Amino acid sequence: VSSRWRLSVDDHVELVALEPDDAERVFALVLENYERLRPWMPWVTPESTAADTRAFIEGVRSNPNPALREANGIYVDGELAGGMGLNGDPMNAVGEIGYWIAGAYEGRGVVSRSVVALVDYGFRDLRLHRIEIRAATENLRSRAIPERLGFVEEAVLREAGRTGLGFVDLVVYGMLAPDWAARER
């Protein structure tokens, strides 16, 4: 377990790479939060099972580009609280961050602080040049995160996402490495 990739966010929060044996626990948390996640996360459907979660984690682990950190748990005081990943396009030095958090941990800034840590990691350790966050136009809670952190709202991709609401427009936020380095903390 100690060999897992992990990223400290603060004294209480850390991101830890998921392993296949975490699938049942992660999926249980997804089910507990089904009504909250279903409108926004394309992989949360009535047909979803723990086997899908396991297949996702295994797929990420077998990715030939393990430098991207696609499947992590957000842990708060050692308890699984949500998920966050950095995936993307290393050839172009572009990454994309996605996230969800259980209702019990929402509204505390845990996700915002975790995004800061993962963006720092992406620019500093992975030498990315650009990091994106995409959210359904109607997902105001999610959009507040890149907006709070100074990402630039760049585009709306028409019906580029499929969620529990059907096809949804996605708004793309972008951050560039020099702008992140220059921003006030």
Short-list 176, 12, 42, 16, CA closest to 109: 12
Q: Is 98 exposed, middle or buried (0-12, 13-18, 19+ CB in 10 A)?
A: middle
CB of 86 to ligand COA, least distance (A): 14
**Any contact of residue 37 with ligand COA (CB under 6 A)?**
yes
- Among positions 84-143, residues that touch ligand COA (CB under 6 A) are 99-101, 106-112, 135, 139, 141-142
**Any contact of residue 53 with ligand COA (CB under 6 A)?**
no
CA dist., res. 37 & res. 51, Å (int):
18
**Any contact of residue 38 with ligand COA (CB under 6 A)?**
no
**Any contact of residue 163 with ligand COA (CB under 6 A)?**
no
**Any contact of residue 164 with ligand COA (CB under 6 A)?**
no
Strand runs labelled E in 24-165: 69-76, 79-89, 94-101, 130-136, 152-163
Number of CB atoms found within 10 A of residue 22's CB? 18
Which residue is associated with the tokens 């963006």?
Answer: 119
Residues near ligand COA (CB under 6 A), total: 19
CB of 185 to ligand COA, least distance (A): 12
List of residues contacting ligand COA (CB under 6 A): 36-37, 40-41, 99-101, 106-112, 135, 139, 141-142, 145
